[in-house]
């Protein structure tokens, strides 16, 4: 996942933990999941301080009760974020109140403060949320590149994609500081000739 984008960075990294583990990626997946539901970034912090503030506003201020060992994290011990405004409550249910309880549960498990309590990828894919209607499309019905259909010839030239200047600018802004998004934009530009109007 993207470690250069604050908006997807797990709290343990923001608090100075240097060990990278799969729970870091699952936090990022949770942020992307929320972004898909909201149609905008969940916590679009531009700096680490801003991001910590947004996490506090969303999940409440962490403590040793909800995140054992929190007070021993490097940037908590040295009071790096002491000026960040404290918040008591988790706001996930208020923000995602239009969604089913299973969706809220999955979101809370993706965005658990304690990495040890964060859902794994294997458990996430088995979560009840993915068994509810509307069901996901069967894997064999998903589009592939190049197409697997034996009756069609593979694409010989790029598809032309027409998009507004605003849409293209939006894509560029999203990708500006995010390595994996830049790769996506490169892939997009490689296979689609973009015509801006």
Instruction: Kindly indicate whether the domain formed by 6-136 is annotated with CATH number 2.60.40.290.
Output: no
pLDDT of residue 172: 57
Asked whether the beta carbons of 76 and 15 are under 8 A apart, the reply is yes
Asked whether the beta carbons of 8 and 179 are under 8 A apart, the reply is no
pLDDT of residue 193: 44
Give mean pLDDT in consecutive 10-residue pieces for the chain, a chain of 197 residues: 73 91 94 93 92 95 94 88 86 93 95 96 92 78 68 47 51 51 44 42
Residues 55, 56, 61, 67: what is their CA dihedral angle, to the nearest 10 degrees? 0
**What is the distance between the alpha carbons of residues 177 and 4, in angstroms, rounded to a whole number?**
7
Question: How far is residue 167 from each of residues 38, 109, 162, 177, 189, measured CA to CA in Å?
Answer: 18, 32, 10, 17, 14
How do the domains of the chain map onto residue ranges? 6-136, 140-197
Residue 196 main-chain phi, psi, to 5 deg:
-95, 135
């Amino acid at each position: 996942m993207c470690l250069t984008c604050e908006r997807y960075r797990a709290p343990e990294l923001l608090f100075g933990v240097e060990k990278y583990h799969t729970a870091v990626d699952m936090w990022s997946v949770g942020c992307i999941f929320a972004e898909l539901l909201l149609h905008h970034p969940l916590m679009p912090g531009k700096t680490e301080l801003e991001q910590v503030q947004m996490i506090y506003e969303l999940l409440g201020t962490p403590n040793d009760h909800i995140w054992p060992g929190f007070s021993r994290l490097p940037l908590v011990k040295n009071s790096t974020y002491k000026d960040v405004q404290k918040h008591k409550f988790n706001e996930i249910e208020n923000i995602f109140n239009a969604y089913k309880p299973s969706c809220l549960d999955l979101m809370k498990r993706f965005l658990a403060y304690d990495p040890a309590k964060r859902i794994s990828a294997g458990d996430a894919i088995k979560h009840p949320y993915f068994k509810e209607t509307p069901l996901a499309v069967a894997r064999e019905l998903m589009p592939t590149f190049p197409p697997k259909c034996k009756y069609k010839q593979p694409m010989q030239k790029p598809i032309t994609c027409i998009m507004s200047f605003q849409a293209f600018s939006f894509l560029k802004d999203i990708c500006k500081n995010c390595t994996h998004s830049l790769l996506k934009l490169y892939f997009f530009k490689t296979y689609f000739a973009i015509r801006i109007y």
